[in-house]
Amino acid sequence: MSNEPGIQRGDELLRVEKLSKSFMIGGGLFRKPVELKALQDISFSVRAGETLGIVGESGCGKSTLGRCILQLIRAEEGQVLWLGRDLGKLAGEDLRLLRGDLQVIFQDPLASLNPRMTVGEIIAEPLRALRPDLDAAERRERVLSMMSGMGLRPEMINRYPHEFSGGQAQRIGIARALITGPKLIVCDEPVSALDVSIQAQILNLLSEIRDRMGLTLIFISHNLSVVRHVSDRILVLYLGRIVELADSDALYDSPQHPYTRALLTAVPVPDPKKARQRNIDGLTGEIPSPINQPSGCTFRTRCRFAEDRCGKVRPALETLPDGRLVACHRWRELELAGGA
């Protein structure tokens, strides 16, 4: 279950370079398909032991990014480097054998479990595929110990997914992701389909496992408070582009990009006095269609601070003195204006 001896905490595990992915939508015999740019020019890296949060509104490409990392969807441009190897160039067996290192937890726990298989079969499935050296008894042994680690009773092993609640189903999903002893787990909105009371349980379970096994997580969510709870660094996506990437605390204390500010304003604050003191930067309008994106800065249509050049030139991703990345023409002025 432990990391390979070669990998130290803080080493670069995963590096995403200029990743772009677009989907062709519609189209027929006489109609041209339209291009939906789901991800554009995404670059970041993940170090061993850290948790990277990815946030954004629905449709911004969060899940696509997660699936591209796992090669469940193949990106057409850019690279996904796993310990220096380009996963996009691997195919067939080479890629399959690496899958034990990169696992995934899905949003809808029930939909991610095969309804015709028992819990024991579901959790044992990755072992079956990737550890042919284990016989059935050893597999069962590992499944049972993993189940008890997830708070699932051993007598549930022959039950079917539809007999479980959402929270229990997600525990099964987590058990399946952990059984091969992965190094990185992509959590694709792992709690957003669960009841609020269960969300906390699952989040605590995830943090506990991460600390105990020294896992690296990529945590995708649209819920900023959930992401803050678990992440070391946070990447904010808007219409398939990175708008801000910063340490978790820095991002929350002094968001630089107007979009990040707007998102933070949308997080409910329990104290009404504090809530009143906050700047009202709330988002207005709908997220533009990713098929027909605004020119220049894609956020300008909803940005309070937009000016002429925002429509003409797309802001580059700048590195700030404290190491964070922001894609905005006006971050300096906004900072002076007392955004923080």
Contact residue for another protein among 77, 90, 160, 318 (CB under 8 A): 160
* For another protein, the closer CB: 219 or 259: 219
104 sits near another protein (criterion: CB under 8 A): yes
CB of 64 to another protein, least distance (A): 13
192 sits near another protein (criterion: CB under 8 A): no
* For another protein, the closer CB: 129 or 291: 129
Q: Could you tell me the CA-to-CA distances from 115 to 147, 231, 309 in Å, in that order?
A: 18, 32, 53
Structure tokens at 315: 């802001």
115 sits near another protein (criterion: CB under 8 A): yes
Using the 8-state DSSP alphabet, how is residue 136 labeled? H
173 sits near another protein (criterion: CB under 8 A): yes
180 sits near another protein (criterion: CB under 8 A): yes
Phi, psi at 261, each rounded to 5°: -60, -45
* For another protein, the closer CB: 173 or 255: 173
d(CA 260, CA 274): 19
d(CA 289, CA 282): 20
- Residue 287: CB atoms within 10 A of its CB come to 17
Please list every residue from 264 through 283 that binds another protein, using CB under 8 A.
none
User: For residue 120, which of 160, 174, 164 has the smallest C-alpha distance?
Assistant: 160
Binding mask 133-152 for another protein (x = CB under 8 A): --------------------
Q: Could you tell me the CA-to-CA distances from 276 to 70, 196, 265, 268, 269 in Å, in that order?
A: 42, 25, 11, 11, 10
Residue labelled with tokens 């499935």: 125
d(CA 329, CA 306): 9
CB of 90 to another protein, least distance (A): 13
d(CA 301, CA 310): 10
Contact residue for another protein among 20, 79, 100, 192 (CB under 8 A): 100
Q: Interface with another protein by CB under 8 A: which range of 1-9, 122-130, 264-272, 285-293?
A: 122-130
Contact residue for another protein among 96, 212, 309, 332 (CB under 8 A): 96
Please list every residue from 9 through 68 that binds another protein, using CB under 8 A.
67
d(CA 167, CA 151): 11
**Residues near another protein (CB under 8 A):** 67, 70, 72, 96-97, 99-100, 102-104, 106-108, 111-119, 125-126, 129-130, 153-160, 162-163, 173, 176, 180
